[in-house]
């Protein structure tokens, strides 16, 4: 860890903590601008995984031997770490899942299956990732509930003037993203949660793009559910979580059945553990949870306010530099954006641009970003996206501009 | 300039992507196929008219997509005009080999289409190159009316 003082982080030096950043791609130094898809992992996380497998690996919650105690302790300590990180009152409000998608499916299927009836309204927004859209479509189809959507304005923000007419008493849950993965819009979460609560609706926040990027406190946000993925915040793939307010989590019936989640089983029926264990059937991703806790420790040493400030500076700098290029169209708000920029260039289709950039070691993402309805809303088949994390630098952004300028010359 | 990029985006391809040939509606088409590459958002609308012997008399397309998909469609329509069914199917197979198989030696019949060979180094772009060909394959199979195909079968 290369922290000089409590505030000042040497952002260039911390690149040394990420072994993969020394890789080359197609003979060029790697410029990794796809952290919104998945972040890279610091050595501290990679070491934590190795340490777990070398010294603690066993199954949790049932072995009576030393290693099982170590594994159980590491797993439950990780749960506590996540709870503290998110500002949850109690570790039992955290369910470990494979990630954001599974967390949202848990709520849609288990909570929705019990509480959603024909005619109820599920309120979403036009900017949701498919993972916060498709699970609700499936639920609506099964139950006869209706979906409603808060529109997105041309500047990439939500049309909050329409909210009053959409957020009515029929709405049982309002599920929305904290930060849009293709526009970078940061939504006013507390305000939205407060308004939902006023009409008796629950709220689910998709924290996939925010959990590793800015300070989050679920108590202050006032949300009922928050879903997130470990792999987008320096953690391993295949681990993530769901925060759910205790009294709500306790009211939700089991989701997956199997070992770990039961108290007693007869051939006819079973009694289930209390939350969160009731929702963690089968052997969980123990190493993943340990790695996630290490990722949180790493992020917290840098400090989320400092990370947010650094990421915002990168996004602002990239937006400004990109806008100097000819035929450039940038999507999303001009101020206050998350650590990503989505754009379209007249000179080339997003896929041609992405292929071109890749040959120069620059990893961008081209396509619909699991946001097909949003792309349709803006009348484009897809965009090119550059997404950043704290290990990126303004020098890398300058190099991106060079590469994109070369692409303009090549394709025009 | 990067060699693989030069190989993929040959001048002929860039030219066809900027000014696609046979681009437009075919008023009296016997069959119209809508082709869709949902992973990329590429779309093609292909119209085909057959001659008395069932060969391709006229073929036109509209749509949007990356340079590879647009150039591939443009080059294909030029190549297939006047070809009979067996020749089209043979060419489709040869073209598929050209863009997927590192060791494939392009048969002479492919002619200009060999400019597309750079795609073989970019497996994720094969669907872009094949979209128009999948549409024409469907047009032959269906023969009349309207049809749609997708590179991601549901």
Q: What total number of domains does chain A contain?
A: 2
| B68 contacts chain A (CB < 8 A) | yes
A335 within domain boundaries: yes
A235 within domain boundaries: yes
CATH number at residue B122: 3.90.1010.10
Q: What ranges in chain B are assigned the alpha helix state H?
A: 3-8, 11-18, 67-80, 85-100, 126-142
* Token duo for residue A221: 């946000």
A2 within domain boundaries: no
- Domain encompassing residue B127: 3-149
For A380, name the nearest residue in chain B, comparing CA atoms only: B41
Going residue by residue through chain A, which has 412 residues, state the pLDDT in tens, using 9 for 90 and above.
444 444 689 999 999 999 999 999 999 999 999 999 999 999 999 999 999 999 999 999 877 899 999 999 999 999 999 999 999 999 999 999 999 999 999 999 999 999 999 999 999 999 999 999 999 999 999 999 999 999 999 999 999 999 999 999 999 999 999 999 999 999 999 999 999 999 999 999 999 999 999 999 999 999 999 999 999 999 999 999 999 999 999 999 999 999 888 899 999 999 999 999 999 999 999 999 999 999 999 999 999 999 999 999 999 999 999 999 999 999 999 888 999 999 999 999 999 999 999 999 999 999 888 888 999 899 898 999 999 999 999 999 999 999 999 999 999 8
Q: Is the pLDDT of residue B66 over 80?
A: yes
Q: Could you give the C-alpha distances from A55 to A51, A228, A283, A390, B140, in angstroms and in order?
A: 6, 28, 18, 31, 63
pLDDT of residue A158: 97
Q: Could you give the C-alpha distances from A121 to A72, A147, A222, A405, B38, in angstroms and in order?
A: 40, 6, 20, 47, 29
Pick B40's closest partner by Cβ from A356, A382, A411. A382
Cβ separation B41–A360 shorter than 8 A: no
Q: Lowest mean pLDDT: which of A281-285, B84-88, B150-154?
A: B150-154
CATH number at residue A377: 3.90.1150.10
Cβ separation B41–A26 shorter than 8 A: no
pLDDT of residue B39: 79
Is the same domain home to A268 and A315? no
Cβ count near A207 (within 10 Å): 32
- Domain encompassing residue A156: 47-300
Is the same domain home to A114 and A247? yes
Cβ separation B9–A410 shorter than 8 A: yes
- Cα A380 to Cα A332: distance, rounded to the nearest angstrom: 14
pLDDT of residue A123: 98
A6 within domain boundaries: no
pTM: 0.93
pLDDT of residue A7: 60
* Token duo for residue A249: 């989590």
| Catalytic residue check, A193 | no
Is the same domain home to A140 and A19? no
pLDDT of residue A311: 96
Which of B41, B71, B150 to mutate to probe the A interface, most A CBs <10 Å? Answer: B41
A7 within domain boundaries: no
Is the same domain home to A388 and A407? yes
A405 within domain boundaries: yes
Is the same domain home to A229 and A132? yes
pLDDT > 70: percent of chain B: 99
Q: Is the pLDDT of residue B76 over 90?
A: yes
Q: What total number of domains does chain B contain?
A: 1
A277, A300, A323: which is the final residue of a domain? A300
A8 within domain boundaries: no
| B122 contacts chain A (CB < 8 A) | yes
A153 within domain boundaries: yes
| B67 contacts chain A (CB < 8 A) | yes
Q: Which of residues 338-397 of A touch B (CB under 8 A)?
A: 348-352, 355-356, 359-360, 367-368, 372, 375, 380-382
pLDDT of residue B105: 80
B154 within domain boundaries: no
- Cα A5 to Cα A17: distance, rounded to the nearest angstrom: 17
Cβ separation B128–A356 shorter than 8 A: no
Cβ separation A355–B128 shorter than 8 A: no
Is the same domain home to A277 and A330? no
For A375, name the nearest residue in chain B, comparing CA atoms only: B41
Is the same domain home to A269 and A311? no
Is the same domain home to A191 and A327? no
A266, A300, A334: which is the final residue of a domain? A300
Report the mean per-residue pLDDT for chain B.
Answer: 92
Averaged pLDDT for residues B44-62:
94
- In chain A, which residues have their Cβ closer than 8 Å to the Cβ of B64? 381
C-alpha dihedral, A404 to A410 to B2 to B6, nearest 10°: 140
Cβ count near A223 (within 10 Å): 27
Residues contacting residue A277 through CB under 8 Å, at least 6 positions apart: A61, A260, A261
Pick B2's closest partner by Cβ from A350, A360, A380. A360
Is the same domain home to A82 and A213? yes
CATH number at residue A247: 3.40.640.10
Is the same domain home to A22 and A101? no
Please tell me which residue, B123 or A401, carries the higher pLDDT value.
A401
- In chain B, which residues have their Cβ closer than 8 Å to the Cβ of A359? 2, 4-5
| A288 contacts chain B (CB < 8 A) | no
Catalytic residue among A193, A223, A234, A370: A370
A267, A300, A333: which is the final residue of a domain? A300
| B126 contacts chain A (CB < 8 A) | no
Cβ separation A351–B4 shorter than 8 A: no
Cβ separation B65–A367 shorter than 8 A: no
Is the same domain home to A338 and A322? yes
Is the same domain home to A138 and A266? yes
- Cα A98 to Cα A232: distance, rounded to the nearest angstrom: 12
Q: Lowest mean pLDDT: which of A380-394, B105-119, B133-147?
A: B105-119
- Cα A303 to Cα A203: distance, rounded to the nearest angstrom: 27
């Amino acid at each position: 860890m290369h922290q000089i003082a409590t505030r000042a982080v040497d952002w260039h030096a911390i690149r040394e903590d990420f072994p993969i950043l020394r890789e080359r791609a197609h003979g060029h130094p790697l410029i990794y601008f796809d952290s919104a898809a998945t972040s890279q992992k610091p050595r501290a996380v990679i070491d934590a995984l190795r340490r777990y497998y070398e010294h603690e690996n066993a199954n949790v919650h049932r072995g009576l031997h030393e290693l099982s105690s170590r594994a159980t302790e590491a797993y439950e300590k990780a749960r506590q770490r996540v709870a503290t990180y998110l500002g949850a009152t109690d570790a039992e409000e955290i369910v470990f899942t494979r990630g954001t998608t599974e967390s949202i499916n848990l709520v849609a299927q288990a909570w929705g299956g019990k509480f959603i009836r024909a005619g109820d309204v599920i309120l979403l927004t036009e900017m949701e990732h498919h993972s916060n859209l498709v699970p609700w479509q499936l639920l609506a189809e099964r139950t006869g509930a209706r979906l409603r959507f808060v529109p997105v304005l041309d500047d990439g923000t939500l049309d909050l003037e329409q909210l009053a007419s959409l957020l009515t008493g029929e709405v049982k849950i309002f599920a929305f993203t904290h930060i849009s993965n293709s526009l970078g819009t940061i939504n006013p979460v507390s305000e939205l949660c407060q308004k939902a609560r006023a009409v008796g609706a629950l709220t689910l926040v998709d924290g996939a793009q925010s959990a590793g990027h800015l300070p989050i406190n679920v108590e202050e946000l006032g949300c009922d559910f928050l879903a997130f993925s470990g792999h987008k915040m320096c953690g391993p793939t295949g681990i993530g979580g769901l925060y759910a307010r205790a009294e709500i989590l306790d009211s939700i019936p089991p989701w997956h059945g199997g070992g770990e989640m039961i108290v007693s089983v007869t051939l006819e029926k079973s009694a289930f553990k209390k939350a969160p264990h009731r929702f963690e059937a089968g052997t969980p991703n123990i190493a993943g949870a340990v790695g996630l806790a290490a990722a949180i420790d790493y992020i917290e040493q840098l400090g989320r306010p400092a990370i947010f400030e650094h990421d915002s500076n990168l996004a602002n700098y990239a937006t400004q530099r990109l806008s100097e290029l000819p035929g450039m169209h940038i999507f999303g708000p001009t101020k206050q954006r998350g650590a990503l920029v989505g754009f379209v260039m007249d000179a080339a289709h997003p896929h041609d641009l992405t292929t071109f950039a890749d040959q120069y070691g620059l990893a961008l993402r081209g396509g619909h970003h699991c946001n097909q309805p949003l792309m349709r809303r803006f009348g484009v088949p897809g965009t090119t996206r550059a997404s950043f994390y704290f290990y990126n630098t303004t020098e890398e952004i300058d190099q991106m501009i060079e590469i994109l300028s070369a692409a303009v010359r090549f394709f025009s | 300039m990067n060699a693989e990029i030069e190989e993929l985006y040959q001048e002929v391809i860039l030219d066809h992507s900027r000014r696609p040939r046979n681009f437009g509606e075919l008023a009296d088409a016997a069959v119209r196929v809508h082709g869709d590459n949902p992973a990329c958002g590429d779309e093609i609308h292909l119209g085909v008219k057959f001659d008395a012997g069932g060969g391709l008399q006229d073929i036109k397309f509209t749509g949007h997509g990356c340079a590879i998909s647009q150039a591939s469609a443009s080059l294909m329509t030029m190549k297939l005009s006047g070809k009979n069914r067996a020749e089209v199917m043979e060419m489709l197979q040869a073209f598929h080999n050209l863009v997927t198989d590192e060791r494939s030696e392009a048969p002479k019949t492919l002619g200009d289409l060999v400019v597309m060979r750079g795609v073989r180094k970019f497996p994720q772009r094969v669907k872009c190159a094949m979209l128009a060909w999948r549409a024409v394959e469907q047009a032959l199979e269906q023969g009349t009316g309207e049809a749609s195909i997708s590179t991601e079968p549901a």
